[in-house]
Amino acid sequence: MYFWKIDLLKAQLIAKGLTENQTYLYTLAYIVFTTFMVELMRYSPDTVFNEWTHFSSTMNVLIPVAGTMMAFRANGGASGVQFLPRYLSISMVASLRFMVLVIIPLIMTIATLNPESALSGSPFDLLFSACDALLFFFIVKHMREVATARPGADSR
């Protein structure tokens, strides 16, 4: 795995591509780096720090990382096939459905029942971390179903 030497990575991609395991490792590293980077940007000098800020940041990194690792295992691990196409496509559709069917109604309900709420703080950090974990549960479930399905079987 190349972390800095892009010319060596490009040479490998041109010559023989990546194995499923290497694709997974690059995907996982990308998720770790980007979620960590986004969380670092939250900590501006005017951020109010408390235990819930740290909890939320930790969960915002750990849940996608653990979820991606579980999805890779559900897909068959290193002997699985088409991890990245399956992961990206299932994650996109599952995320869109989850947003429309769970997140938007949840936010609208909270805003209706408690209009003064800023949708932040300990209850909301915990609630939205649970929602994030639930989303990855569905992604992993669908990854497992695709990985274990027999071609030609009805999967609706």
Predicted pLDDT of residue 118: 57
- In sequence order, the 6+-apart residues with CB closer than 8 A to the CB of 55 are 122, 125, 126, 129
Q: What is the pLDDT of residues 12-43, one digit of tens each?
A: 989 999 998 999 999 999 999 998 888 887 77
Taking the complete model, does pTM exceed 0.85, yes or no? Answer: no
The answer to whether residues 143 and 75 touch, using CB atoms and an 8 Å cutoff, is: yes
Mean pLDDT per 10-residue section of the chain, whose length is 156 residues: 91 91 93 87 73 84 95 95 94 94 89 68 81 96 94 66
Q: How far is residue 135's CA from residue 64's CA, in Å, rounded to a whole number?
A: 10
Half-sphere CA count of 121, side-chain side, radius 13 A = 5
Give the gyration radius of the chain's Cα atoms.
Answer: 19
